[in-house]
Amino acid sequence: MRIEIVVFDGVDEMDVMGPFEVWSHAAKRTDLELALVGADGPQDVTGMNGLQFRAPGGLGTPDALFVPGGGWMNRAEHGSWAEARSGRLAERIAEVAPGLRWIGSVCTGSMLLAEAGLLKGRPATTNRSAWDELATHGVDVKQNRVVDDGDVLTSGGITAGIDLALYVVERQYGVQTADGIAATMEYTRDRDVLITQAV
């Protein structure tokens, strides 16, 4: 299974690096492949807190796509709010979504999923500060840390992406593998997962 994490200037570093850490461990134990990608090709990224890193490839044809957030609440010049305003990232997400096994998000990455038209009428969550705004997109907003709606998985603010990533590992490869990775990371899992559809 190949997971691509799409990144952009102003992204919240923890939204990216938490799940990246989890799935990097999973890639050493399973058939999972992981890549950081830009929407339209390789991209040098400066995160919202100044961390600079590179996505070496562009969005391709993965099995799963993960969308982080950052910079939404303060309407930052760079980040998920700016990406939603430009429309290009939401357009790319909508283009690849039909071919995915699942698409996921952490924090206000779910706002980008909503902008792409993927959450209307569906249960989802986001950063608690954006719950009301997410609801304006016709989303059935849940207050759980992770919401599994089958082919759409969303999670709450910032560190909730770690729990979503571990849940994905559990769903795909079993609880023993997920718990083993959490133990390696010395991370205590939050198992507040709402499952609304069986996979």
Question: Residue 6: which of 82, 87, 93, 86 has the closest Cα?
Answer: 93
* CA–CA gap between residue 103 and residue 60 (Å, rounded): 14
Within 13 A of 15's CA, how many CA atoms are on the CB side?
A: 34
The two structure tokens encoding residue 104: 């996921």
Tokens 């079993």, residue?
174
The answer to whether residue 107 is catalytic is: yes
Distance, first Cα to last Cα, the chain: 15
The answer to whether 1 touches 33, Cβ cutoff 8 Å, is yes
Contact 125, 141 (CB under 8 A): yes
Name residue 74's amino acid: N
Given the residues 107, 112, 114, 116, the one annotated as active site: 107
Catalytic residues: 107
